[in-house]
Structure 1
């Protein structure tokens, strides 16, 4: 979990990590993937986000590779290497950033 803000009826909370997505998951184990495997991003708990943006980052050079606005199914890169997916979601109650690393074999 990265930067987020959330406000409910009786309390609110804000956290700022001040870290890039790649740094956020440094040291975390990567999920193994094969070239062109498909990812499905979904939030299982209510409420459903109003909007979701996903950014694919290269771990090697910390550069943004691609931004996805549609989150149904996303193909992982075909080039072997370590990558990070950053998910930014917005709800009526707030917003949040999440990140996870993958390694394409």
Structure 2
């Protein structure tokens, strides 16, 4: 017997000595036991408390099943309600390095598989 995944794999995001960073799910389309698209709002600033990390710390982003393509958008949070896009990159490797500048950074990860796609966010506070 086999299991048909009903939604996209979630990333395991870790910092430093494998400290897990919580992620928040956003919209997705997935062709599992049936095809579905969920247009869930992606709350980039209030989904969870930022995880404290050191300047230039490496963040690992792993999936149970690696995506075909992954895009990563980095936003810097300014105050409570404003964000500024810092960069958007396509990546095919497993890690990123947080900025040296202190502040709160929100990472938006969009990953694609043969069966669909999924958006996730996580945030860190560089101290």
Task: Please report the TM-score for the alignment, with normalisation by the length of structure 1.
Answer: 0.84
RMSD, aligned CA:
1.6
Q: What's the offset of the Cα at 1:14?
A: 1.4
The yes-or-no answer on 1:88 pairing with 2:110 is: yes
SS of 2:26 mapped into structure 1: coil
Distance in 1 (alpha carbons) for counterparts of 2:47 and 2:67: 28
Q: What's the offset of the Cα at 1:25?
A: 4.0
> Relative contact order: is structure 1 or structure 2 higher (C-alpha 8 Å, sep ≥ 6)?
1
Q: Runs (4+) of structure 1 moved beyond 3 Å?
A: none
Distance in 1 (alpha carbons) for counterparts of 2:112 and 2:123: 21
Question: What residue in structure 2 maps to residue 33 of structure 1?
Answer: 53
Return 5+ residue gaps in structure 1 as ranges: none
